[in-house]
Amino acid sequence: MADGSTRRKEGWATYAYILLYIALSSGQIFFNKWVLSSKEINFPYPLGLTLLHMVFSSVLCFVLTKVFKIIEIEDGVTPEIYVTSVIPIGAMFAMTLWLGNSAYLYISVAFAQMLKAIMPVAVFILGTLVGLEIMSCRMLFIMSVISFGVIVASYGEVSVNWVGVVYQMGGVVGEALRLIFMEIFVKRKGVRLNSLSVMYYVSPCSALCLFIPWIFLEKSKMDSAGTWNFPPLILALNCLCTFALNLSVFLVISHTSALTIRVAGVVRDWVVVLLSALLFADTKLTVINLVGYGIAIAGVVAYNNHKLKKEASRLSTEGSTVTENQENSEEVRLIPVPTGQGT
């Protein structure tokens, strides 16, 4: 009886973590759009906003791990690994955040989310080029389905701003490169870290990569516009939500499986697309939009399923058992660590 009660409590806790992840991830995307929008908070500095996220995350990670020692960071990152792996990952992470948030100045949240569905295609193409993926008829078909769906969804967009599209696709390329570097980080160097440990090492590097272009591209604009009088409470809350999102991913990964986090991600994507039409005036969904996005998501689900089966087959062949730490590292490798976009 007690065992049944314990299992029920654990089950409800798992559902709570998943719902928390979906709520925070969706909310962070809407929050960023709200802060950047000229019709709302009017803080049109995506580079500055992303820099704040990374600085806040770096400071909070340090305080929680080194001062209060609430969270334990996994070891294994040597100076050589930091230079050859963490810095490239941090640079691509910074690129993804910067360009992805910049896209919100030009295109709607829903359209940006639809364009993000092309991510598996970018990851697969780059992975094939560096020898991490193998081209097959099955994968070619899946990539074609995703690409076709994104094209249909784009065709159905009422007003396409190509500047925003370029920014978003640049963010997709940056994220794909980050995942490729993570793949190499885990497979070839054998370092396995959970999502919070990754944020501890990557956030300071990303902050530095963002600080340099911010000095040249946005600081002078903020000085001339007097934007230093920005609402500190709003921006602090925005940064806190970003960190809470990272924590929710850690909780979901720790208490569920790789499949669960992928399903939750698909549900989150649909929530963002549909709710954005109600929350933002610049979002005008069409039937062609939704049909195309549905096709793309079907391809993404097939891709995730293929990757999970491939990984399960590899583990079975090696005769190894999937431990909790391996599940964590697999998630870090294949699931984007939540960014300032809420991705």
Q: What was the pLDDT predicted at 314?
A: 67
What distance in Å separates the CA atoms of residue 277 and residue 312, rounded to the nearest whole number? Answer: 38
| Token pair 């007003």: residue | 159
Q: Which residues contact 312 (CB under 8 A, 6 or more apart)?
A: none
Q: What was the pLDDT predicted at 190?
A: 67
Give the domain ranges of the chain: 12-334
| Token pair 């989310």: residue | 113
Task: Transcribe 149-213 into DSSP letters.
Answer: HHHHHHHT-SS--HHHHHHHHHHHHHHHHHHHHHHHHHHTT-----HHHHHHHHHHHHHHHHHHH
Indicate the pTM of the whole model.
0.85
3-state helix, strand, coil in the chain (%, to 5): 80, 0, 20
Q: What was the pLDDT predicted at 250?
A: 75
Burial of residue 294, with CB atoms counted within 10 A of its CB: 0-12 exposed, 13-18 middle, 19 or more buried: middle
Rg of the chain, C-alpha, whole Å: 20
pLDDT tens digit at each of 343 positions of the chain: 556 666 677 778 778 888 999 999 999 999 999 999 877 788 899 999 999 999 999 999 999 888 888 877 777 788 888 888 889 999 999 999 999 999 999 999 999 999 999 999 999 999 999 888 888 999 999 999 999 999 999 998 878 899 999 999 999 999 999 989 888 877 666 667 777 788 899 999 999 999 999 999 999 888 887 656 677 889 899 999 988 888 888 777 777 766 677 778 889 999 999 999 888 888 889 999 999 999 999 999 999 888 877 777 766 765 554 444 444 444 333 344 444 455 5
